[in-house]
Structure 1
Amino acid sequence: MLRRTLILLSCWLSIHWVGAQTQPAPLQVGLGLNGYTYAGDLTYGEQDFWRAYPGGALRVQFAGERLLHLQLNAGFGRFIEQADGWLPDTEAGIQPNTFVETSLFYTDLRLRLRPWARRVVHPYFGVGVGFLFYSPRDAEGNSLAENTLTREAGEVYGSTTAAFPLNAGLMVRLNPQLSLGLGYTYRVLGGDYLDNIGQLGRQAGNDQLHAVDLTLYVAFQPPRIEEPPVRPDRPEPAEPLWVARPAPEGLFLPSNDATWIELWSWAAPSPTDENAVERFRYQVH
């Protein structure tokens, strides 16, 4: 499982590293409070949804004002459930548990969509993939996963299942550094043993896990990229003037046809060059 988690983390970091080269976004770290509700083989009726058990979460994302971004999540929690008087028909020696206390830990990677990310208050929608680690125990604190007499023969399960979170909520930007998130998450689970009851259960399908969360995000702004100053437009200096003039009197030069000489003299300052030099060409015959 550690290897899979590292692969997910590497993919997430590589995608954001590439994106950061073209559009830097602030790193946001969120600390959240979660409330978990379980629905499974030990629950009955809608009244069970009114009981929520506390937990916590850590969230990391590079969001900014992007329409789509990835979010890495990790969290923990628990739930307790009891169904007195419920005993299914079982084989001799098999006695399913009617009480369970399950501790939870999860990690997942989510893709979130924010249609109006530039607004102060905006909704978000997300879908993800990850793992849920759980440990069901009885009223005395003993591990139910190791007690094979609580389920039918041949039912063997581990302590990890795949989880596919579906979530939606609202983000509120308090200031450039702080944001507040309120969300709901439903996890599609790949197992039916959060309560240690599988084939003997009275509910069809896998166990369900719901959660509401309140998260405070802190943004760490990336360093500003210094751009070179913009130079004001200036007119290009004028090309030097070449003036053909007769050779001055008394100037002794060898007599060669089409022989030219240059004489340099200082000219008056010009608007584009304080040390302008006037250049003359003299034709000698």
Structure 2
Amino acid sequence: MIFRTLIIFFLFFIAQITFAQEKSLVDVYLQVSGSANAYKGDLSPSYQKWSSAFHIGAFSDQHRWFNPTASLSIGNLVGQNTNYDYLNPPRNNTFFKTNFVQFSLGLRLNAIKTDFLTVYLNPNIGIMRFTPKDIRNQKLANQPETRALGETLPTTAFVIPVNVGAMYKFKASKVAVGAEVGLLNPRSDYLDNIGEFGSASARDNSLQIKLSVYAPLTRYDAEKERKKQEQKKERRQEWLRKQGLLKESQQKNENKIQTTPKNVEKKKLTPTQLKNQKAKEKAEKEKQKKAEERAKTLEKNKKESEKQKQKVSTEKQKAQEKKLKEAEKRKKEVEKKKKKAEEEKRKKQAKKKKS
């Protein structure tokens, strides 16, 4: 039966991957799990003697903080202690194997919930039907000699399982995988068929380590859901308006809120998407601020460079002007010397003629 269930689930799993829609969001997940269970009680002071269980359930994933769950579990618990010291027992009961069927309802309390990862605490309340058997696979309920005189063996009990787990979703198909660790917390001390002969401090319990696969069971269109909520709100406002219960100022404010594009956009987004959008906007602002600072720095450097170039150019121009002046001065001095030499030459020639 379990094998057939796994085959059906596998086919359903493949179908969900094939026909997954990007725009739709998962409303309810189907959860199929396998767990390793360790017994602790009168025949074992610590969690040991591991056994297995199969779990199938469903939970809503539509809300941020709280999500209801339901699950059905089928499995067994095993314990043995050949040296167990009974309180005047008529017959030793050192081994048991208890088959159980359990149905639970719970609530997931999400500590972390993003588009991909959810970390949660999952308290439950449920009912368990169990059947302890001995090493020969005989029902211990039919063996009154294994218990105190007049003591009967109950076969049903309330359970309060508490689990801590995490779930990772794959983006394309919304299929997910997860793991949980928790305690069964049965409200019965007869899982091992030891009641009055047992110790009051060694109450029966089971540690569960569970691995799960999740497939989308139902989906919903986020945009369609938003429009539906808006229509519902409009109908309510219309009714209040007809009854005269909606004040004019309140009506204006609500209309303003409805027609503000920013608020409409926010309604379309989930809390995680809003958070990501804010982070993106902040990053864009920081990027823009850095770009502006970089542009200012470049502009400043450019101005300083131009100023430096202008200064160098002015100094070069001054040096050239100075050189030109010096050259002009030297030229004048040369011309002056030349004129003086010519004048002296003329004077000498004039003296020669006289003599």
- What's the TM-score, normalizing by structure 2? 0.53
Q: CA deviation at 1:55?
A: 1.4
Matches within 5 A, 1:1-20: none
Q: 1:161 to 1:62 in 2, by over 3 A?
A: same
> Residue 100 of structure 1 aligns with which residue?
96
Matches of 1:147 and 1:200, distance apart in 2: 15
Q: Which residue is 1:195 aligned to?
A: 192
Shift of 1:205: 4.7
Q: Secondary structure at the match of 2:161?
A: strand
How many residue pairs get aligned? The number is 200
User: 8 Å contact 1:41–1:203 — kept in the other structure?
Assistant: no
Q: Which residues in structure 2 correspond to 1:245-260 (within 5 Å)? A: none
Which among 127, 145, 148 is matched to residue 149 of structure 1?
145
1:73 maps to 71
Alignment of 1:33-182 (within 5 A): 33-44=34-45, 46=46, 48-49=47-48, 51-90=49-88, 94-175=90-171, 176-182=173-179
Aligned 8 A contact 1:96 1:197 in 2:
no
Q: For residues 71 and 30 of structure 1, what CA distance do their matches in structure 2 show? A: 10
8 Å Cα contact 1:40/1:203 also seen in 2: no
* Equivalent residue number for residue 350 of structure 2: none
CA distance in 2, matches of 1:223, 1:80: 43
Where in structure 1 are there 5+ consecutive unaligned residues? 1-23, 229-285
- Per the alignment, in what secondary structure is the counterpart of residue 44 of structure 2? coil
1:65 deviates by: 4.7
Structure 1 counterpart of 2:204: 207
Report the Cα offset of residue 53 of structure 1.
1.1
Counterpart of 1:55, as a letter, is A
How far did residue 64 of structure 1 move? 3.1
Structure number with bigger Rg: 2
Contact 1:177 1:220 in 2 (8 A): no
The Cα of 1:217 is off from its aligned counterpart by 0.5
TM-score (norm 1): 0.65
The C-alpha deviation readout for 1:139-184, integer Å capped at 9, x for no partner, is 1111101211001112113211000011111111123421111001
Distance 2:180 2:188 in 1: 24
CA offset at residue 107 of structure 1?
Answer: 0.7
Q: Which runs of 5+ in 2 are unaligned?
A: 1-24, 229-355
Cα displacement string for residues 54-73 of structure 1 (whole angstroms, at most 9, x for unaligned residues): 21100111113531010001
Q: Distance in 2 between matches of 1:64 and 1:211?
A: 27
Q: Distance in 2 between matches of 1:220 and 1:29?
A: 6
Higher strand fraction (1 or 2) = 1
Match of 1:183 among 180, 188, 192: 180
Distance 1:198 1:171 in 2: 38
The 1:145/1:61 distance shift into structure 2, 3 A limit, reads same
Give the corresponding residue for 1:29: 30
Distance 1:29 1:187 in 2: 21
Q: Could you say which structure has the higher helix fraction?
A: 2
SS of match in other structure, 1:145: helix
Partner of residue 220, structure 1: 217
